[in-house]
Amino acid sequence: MFKETKAFSGFAVDDVATAKKFYGETLGLDVTEENGMLRLRIAGGIPVLVYPKPGHTPAEYTILNFPVPDIDAAAKELTARGVVFERYNDKHDELGIFRGGGPLIAWFKDPAGNVLSIIQA
């Protein structure tokens, strides 16, 4: 039934204007705004919908992963842009990259508190 449907993902934020600045300027994504919502344009052409939600509660899990070819370089660039990486245990290096087994990954939050990541591709 949905095999040919171009599904897309979405998530909530508490402040669309702040989200637009973060996703557009800090992360460098193409962002458009329509009807009080944002569309993030990511590789592959499928947009991600960002919508306002009164009383927003941030997701406690990773809602969006960004595969990167060089996680060290990406972490340094994001840090220079003001991003602070989360540290959930003692297996994160000085950049905030988790090196405790599995893929190299670093988590950070958007201004609404939603968890995002960069992950070594």
Q: Is residue 84 a part of any domain in this protein?
A: yes
- Residue 44 has what pLDDT? 79
Q: Consecutive sets of 10 residues in the chain, 121 residues long: mean pLDDT of each?
A: 86 97 96 97 90 94 96 97 94 93 95 97 89
- Residue 69 has what pLDDT? 96
Q: Is residue 1 a part of any domain in this protein?
A: no
CATH code where residue 14 lies: 3.10.180.10
Q: Domain of 106?
A: 10-120
- In the 8-state DSSP scheme, what is residue 1? -
- Residue 3 has what pLDDT? 86
Per-position b or e across 1-32, b if 16+ CB within 10 A of its CB: eeeeeeeeeebbbbebeebbebbbeebebebe
Contact 111, 102 (CB under 8 A): no
- Residue 101 has what pLDDT? 85
Contact 29, 42 (CB under 8 A): yes
How many domains, in total, are found in the chain? 1
Q: Is residue 74 a part of any domain in this protein?
A: yes
H helix and E strand count, the chain:
2, 7
